[in-house]
Amino acid sequence: MQKKWWHDKVAYQIYPKSFMDSNGDGIGDLRGIIGKLDYLKELGIDMIWISPIYQSPFIDQGYDISDYYKIAEEFGTMEEFDLLLEEAKKREIQIVMDLVINHCSSKHEWFQKALDDPAGEYAEYFYFVKGKDGNPPSNYRSYFGGSTWEKVPGTDNYYLHMFAKEQPDLNWENPKVRKELFDMVNWWLDKGIGGFRIDAIINIKKDLAFPDFEPDGPDGMCRATKMVEEVDGIGKFLGELKRETFAKYDAFTVGEVFNMKEEELEEFVGEDGYFSTMFDFQPHILTSSENGWYDTREVDFLKWKAAIFSSQVECQDRVFLANIIENHDEPRGASRYLPEHARNPQGVKMLGTVSILLRGIPFIYQGQEIGMTNCRREDIHDYDDIDTYHQYQVALDAGLSKEEALDACYRFSRDNARTPMQWNAEKNAGFTMGKPWLAVNENYREINVEDQEKDPNSVLNYYKRLIRLRKDSEWKEVFVYGNFLPMYEKDEQIFAYARKAGEKTAVVLANFGEKEMVVELDKKIRKVLLSNQDKMAGIDENKVILKPCEVVVVSI
């Protein structure tokens, strides 16, 4: 495999609204991020992906952009952004922006002009489509519920929105739109950013016939992703996007890609792929249900492990994926992937280890490095997320009680990951001097950065050691490029694999079960590279005794 500058990076995702508030308005901001760069450097981070910071009405928390060239005033100014870039550079940290180009905000100038003149040039920037006998053009359900079609006032046309009605889809078939977007991407790259995380990108190719599909729910509609799965030809757009922008700058790109056709893997992220990498969501979609959050299953250890292993093995030598435990759209990994008995600091370290030493680029989501957890709310109004409101309603419509619907949100709401970062044990977890836009998780008194910095055995200090091991000059080649070899595949407690490059082999062994286990390797153990125990129960020749929640990395 040809080596690329980003292969050995450790990335960190910042959700800016909830990271650090510097001016007491309750909203995280750019100055807040700048103030924490040393913290991130110390953790071992080389690259920061920041969720959208562009001007936005925040209907979908910034994923609805009304001006791609402006910083949201909630977050600061362009001067502050430039300062962030400069300060990050000083610390050899790359800034990766979020690129939301499937749709913009209904408040974007283009859409406003389109509404003003529905027969004019700007209507062609969107999908304005004639209705069928007084009905919308097709029976698609949007991601956030309800039809994907909204009436264009004063006409018999509808406009398409895969997400909220305030997020009209951009018409990629129109060369003018593509040109506008490519210019904008290059404008940011010219500033010196490292690249982009590319939002919801699979949706940009539409079937312009907008055919109806067999309804898949009681609302008589069919999920809009069905159309995305059926249509061909996205490659033309993505190839052009890459050629006209990223390729010229050797930029790093990571795609948020769901519903890709399997055979397109290399086209997307192979050596000459459209993107540098994409997130491996295989382990995350396992538990989801088409009926909604209320119907999600508990994580099944064997299936979860198998999903990770099969991605790892399949991608070996072909592509480089990006691995996550959680992000701003997912519940907290510590609450989701750990069995009840392991929801403690030892368990959190174990989960972090098995994930971060996989082949691929690790993306750590803010707060993951201290073991932040899901957050229970008493009332649906304590949430501030369009998707959570929708899923709550879906649960009620399915006949669940309010308590049950809230419980589904507790398990799955995107706001679980969006509560303010827990910096210390003081008021509002040290996130703000004012009133936080979203209430903090009450467990900040037990889980926070300041306390963990003082405790050598904390999750945070363990994460630092873990990242240091990944980057250790002696082991880097193994953890970045080494082969992935699954071990104990069928075992119901043990999560184990080896990473091997040349003569060097590291083995990761973790016990997710409740019983002590003895693990036997086929070679003699040379050295313990990392352990989450003060004192290991036992290690002898080629055997390791693993207590519940114990993880160890050894060389053989």
Binding-site partner at residue 25 among Ca ion, ligand GLC, none, CB < 5 to 8 Å by type: Ca ion
Q: Which residue's CB is nearer to ligand GLC, number 80 or number 169?
A: 169
Kindly state whether residue 246 participates in binding ligand GLC, applying the rule CB under 6 A.
no
Helix segments in 413-458, DSSP class H? 449-454
The answer to whether residues 322 and 11 touch, using CB atoms and an 8 Å cutoff, is yes
Q: Which residue's entry shows tokens 């006409």?
A: 155
| Cα 554 to Cα 258: distance, rounded to the nearest angstrom | 35
Number of residues that bind Ca ion (CB under 5 A): 5
Residue 521 one-letter amino acid:
L
Candidates 21, 46, 150, 256: give the one binding ligand GLC (CB under 6 A).
Answer: 256
Residue 249 one-letter amino acid:
Y
Binding-site partner at residue 29 among Ca ion, ligand GLC, none, CB < 5 to 8 Å by type: Ca ion
Q: Which residue's CB is nearer to ligand GLC, number 163 or number 423?
A: 163
Q: Which residue's CB is nearer to ligand GLC, number 259 or number 401?
A: 259
Phi and psi dihedrals of 512, rounded to 5? -85, -5
| Cα 433 to Cα 29: distance, rounded to the nearest angstrom | 13
209's CB contacts (< 8 A; 6+ apart) are none
Active site residue 150: no
Question: In degrees to the nearest 10, what's the CA dihedral of 449, 451, 453, 458?
Answer: -90
Kindly state whether residue 104 participates in binding ligand GLC, applying the rule CB under 6 A.
no
CB of 365 vs ligand GLC, minimal distance in Å: 12
Helix H or strand E encompassing 185: helix 175-191
Kindly state whether residue 433 participates in binding Ca ion, applying the rule CB under 5 A.
no
The answer to whether residues 44 and 476 touch, using CB atoms and an 8 Å cutoff, is no
Q: Which residue's CB is nearer to Ca ion, number 110 or number 437?
A: 437
Directed axis angle between helix 459-471 and helix 345-356, to 10°? 20
Kindly state whether residue 189 participates in binding ligand GLC, applying the rule CB under 6 A.
no
Kindly state whether residue 453 participates in binding Ca ion, applying the rule CB under 5 A.
no
Kindly state whether residue 384 participates in binding ligand GLC, applying the rule CB under 6 A.
no
Mark residues 107-146: x for contact with ligand GLC by CB under 6 A, - for none: ----------------------------------------
| Cα 546 to Cα 491: distance, rounded to the nearest angstrom | 14
Kindly state whether residue 385 participates in binding ligand GLC, applying the rule CB under 6 A.
no
Site for ligand GLC in 71-100 (CB under 6 A): 100
CB of 364 vs Ca ion, minimal distance in Å: 23
Among 495, 536, 491, which residue's Cα sits nearest to residue 337?
A: 495
Kindly state whether residue 77 participates in binding Ca ion, applying the rule CB under 5 A.
no
- Among residues 60, 64, 169, 199, the one annotated as catalytic is 199
Binding-site partner at residue 169 among Ca ion, ligand GLC, none, CB < 5 to 8 Å by type: none
Q: Which residue's CB is nearer to ligand GLC, number 59 or number 342?
A: 59
Burial 173-203 (b: 16+ CB within 10 A, else e): eeeebbebbbebbbebbeeebbbbbbbbbbb
Q: Which residue's CB is nearer to ligand GLC, number 21 or number 199?
A: 199
Q: How far is CA 406 from CA 289, 380, 381, 392, 396, in A?
A: 17, 7, 11, 7, 10
Phi and psi dihedrals of 12, rounded to 5? -140, 130
Binding-site partner at residue 349 among Ca ion, ligand GLC, none, CB < 5 to 8 Å by type: none
Candidates 329, 384, 453, 516: give the one binding ligand GLC (CB under 6 A).
Answer: 329
CB of 159 vs ligand GLC, minimal distance in Å: 16
Mark residues 532-551: x for contact with ligand GLC by CB under 6 A, - for none: --------------------
Kindly state whether residue 395 participates in binding ligand GLC, applying the rule CB under 6 A.
no
Q: Which residue's CB is nearer to ligand GLC, number 241 or number 449?
A: 241
Q: Long-range contacts made by residues 310-318, C-beta under 8 angstroms, separation at least 24?
A: 310/282, 311/280, 311/282, 311/283, 312/358, 312/359, 312/360, 312/484, 312/486, 312/497, 313/484, 313/486, 314/265, 315/265, 315/280, 315/359, 315/360, 316/359, 316/483, 316/484, 317/1, 318/265, 318/266, 318/270
Among 264, 288, 268, 286, which residue's Cα sits nearest to residue 276?
A: 268
Candidates 15, 49, 54, 63: give the one binding ligand GLC (CB under 6 A).
Answer: 63
Cα 271 vs. chain centroid, distance in angstroms? 23
| Contact range with Ca ion by CB under 5 A, out of 24-32, 103-111, 182-190, 542-550 | 24-32
Binding-site partner at residue 60 among ligand GLC, Ca ion, none, CB < 5 to 8 Å by type: ligand GLC
The answer to whether residues 451 and 425 touch, using CB atoms and an 8 Å cutoff, is yes
Q: Which residue's CB is nearer to ligand GLC, number 329 or number 491?
A: 329
Mark residues 488-527: x for contact with ligand GLC by CB under 6 A, - for none: ----------------------------------------
Beta strands in 219-310 (DSSP E): 222-223, 252-255, 277-278
Q: Which residue's CB is nearer to ligand GLC, number 202 or number 421?
A: 202
Mark residues 26-65: x for contact with Ca ion by CB under 5 A, - for none: -x-x------------------------------------
Site for ligand GLC in 190-219 (CB under 6 A): 199-200
- Among residues 74, 150, 256, 326, the one annotated as catalytic is 256
Helix segments in 357-512, DSSP class H? 386-397, 402-412, 449-454, 459-471, 476-481
Phi and psi dihedrals of 99, rounded to 5? -115, 105
CB of 54 vs ligand GLC, minimal distance in Å: 12
Sign of CA dihedral 343, 346, 349, 350: negative
Active site residue 317: no
Kindly state whether residue 80 participates in binding Ca ion, applying the rule CB under 5 A.
no
Catalytic residues: 199, 256
Footprint of ligand GLC on this chain (CB under 6 A)?
60, 63, 100, 163, 199-200, 256, 328-329
Footprint of Ca ion on this chain (CB under 5 A)?
21, 23, 25, 27, 29
